[in-house]
């Protein structure tokens, strides 16, 4: 029960942060990505602020023997760069640049139930499901 | 540049970082939205409830935001572009093991070289994509 409440609370505050930051508005994200147009630099502060807080806190937290509610920290262990990482990031970059939506903000925007967002999230979940099928035939080594 | 949106963006960023940090400190998990959703496709026993709770929390945050300040309801591109974009975001974030939250916030925050490479790649490609669609194709 505790782990459910923690996840729920963290997801909720994360969503409020996305809302406050402006990242939930695809028009503003596209303006941020439009370097040669009417560029909106504010969103750089979102990533900068978030990374700064996380970096300072994680340095402390990761010296703990275990998380407050859990047996161990579950962090990615792979270190090397590979084709899947870079190709995946590039495909994501094209998608992000096309509509100005990434998974977190899209999910938050879903709460308004608009047709555009429902269409995007449906396509996004389909893309993820397609990957699951693809990954069954060409699993990561 | 107006001061209020700038402060809101900074405050939002700090809140995002704090929420992601709280998940790490409390549960020991990475707050990567694409990974949290992707872990449900297909769902695995014993790994379901916290993922659903996180996503329901995000939707709950969305409902609060929608009631307080309103959420955007339109995306300024065509439906075809929306579908192609969604498919690429979904497939790409799973193939690349992360999105703006997992690689961007948590990965950069831990100083991960893989996340740094991923963020440079997806941001660079997104800048180029917007340049092409807006200034060469003249809108999609």
Range of the domain at B92: 74-140
Give this prediction's pTM. 0.96
Residue B109 lies in a domain: yes
Residue A26: closest C-alpha in chain B: B75
Q: What percent of chain A has pLDDT over 70?
A: 99
Inform me whether the C-beta atom of residue A39 falls under 8 Å from chain B C-beta atoms.
Answer: no
Inform me whether the C-beta atom of residue B71 falls under 8 Å from chain A C-beta atoms.
Answer: yes
- pLDDT by residue for chain B (140 residues), tens only, comes to 578 889 999 999 999 999 999 999 999 999 999 999 999 998 998 899 999 999 999 999 999 999 999 999 999 999 999 999 999 999 999 999 999 999 999 999 999 999 999 999 999 999 999 999 999 998 88
Residue B85 lies in a domain: yes
A120, B75 contact by CB (below 8 A): yes
Residue entry with tokens 């872990």:
B39
Under DSSP, the state recorded for B105 is I
- Best A26, A52, A60, A94 member to test B by mutation, with max B CBs in 10 Å, is A94
B33, B99 contact by CB (below 8 A): yes
Into how many domains does chain B fold? 1
Angle between helices A83-99 and A26-33 (to 10 degrees): 120
Residue B35 lies in a domain: no
Residues with Cβ within 8 Å of A33's Cβ and at least 6 positions away in sequence, in order, are: A96, A97, A100, B126, B127, B129, B130
Which two tokens mark B99?
């999105």
Indicate yes or no: CB of A91 within 8 angstroms of CB of B114.
no
Average pLDDT over residues A31-46: 92
Residue B131 lies in a domain: yes
Inform me whether the C-beta atom of residue B116 falls under 8 Å from chain A C-beta atoms.
Answer: no
What pLDDT, in 10s, does the model give residues B24-37?
Answer: 999 999 999 999 99
Residue B11 lies in a domain: no
Residue B128 lies in a domain: yes
Residue B66 lies in a domain: no
Inform me whether the C-beta atom of residue A42 falls under 8 Å from chain B C-beta atoms.
Answer: yes
Residue B2 lies in a domain: no
């Amino acid at each position: 029960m505790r782990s459910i409440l923690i996840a729920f609370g963290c997801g909720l505050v994360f969503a409020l942060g996305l809302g406050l930051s402006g990242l939930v508005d695809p028009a503003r994200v596209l303006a941020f990505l439009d370097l040669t147009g009417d560029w909106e630099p504010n969103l750089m502060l979102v990533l900068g602020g978030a990374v700064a807080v996380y970096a300072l806190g994680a340095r402390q937290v990761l010296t703990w023997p275990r998380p407050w509610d859990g047996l161990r920290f579950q962090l990615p262990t792979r270190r090397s760069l590979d084709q899947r990482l870079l190709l995946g990031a590039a495909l994501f970059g094209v998608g992000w640049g096309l509509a100005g939506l990434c998974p977190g903000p899209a999910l938050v925007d879903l709460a308004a139930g608009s047709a555009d967002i429902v269409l995007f999230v449906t396509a996004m979940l389909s893309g993820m499901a397609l990957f699951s099928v693809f990954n069954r035939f060409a699993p990561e080594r | 540049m107006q001061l209020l949106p700038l402060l809101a963006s900074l405050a939002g960023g700090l809140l995002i970082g704090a929420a992601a940090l709280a998940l790490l400190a409390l549960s020991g998990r990475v707050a990567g939205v694409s990974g949290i959703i992707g872990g449900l496709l297909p769902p695995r026993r014993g790994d379901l409830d916290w993922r659903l709770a996180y996503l329901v929390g995000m939707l709950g945050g969305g409902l609060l935001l929608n009631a307080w300040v309103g959420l955007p309801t339109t995306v300024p591109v065509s439906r075809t572009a929306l579908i192609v974009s969604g498919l690429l975001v979904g497939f790409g974030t799973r193939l690349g093991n992360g999105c703006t939250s997992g690689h961007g916030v948590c990965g950069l925050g831990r100083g991960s070289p893989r996340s740094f490479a991923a963020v440079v790649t997806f941001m660079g490609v997104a800048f180029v994509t917007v340049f092409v669609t807006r200034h060469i194709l003249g809108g999609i």
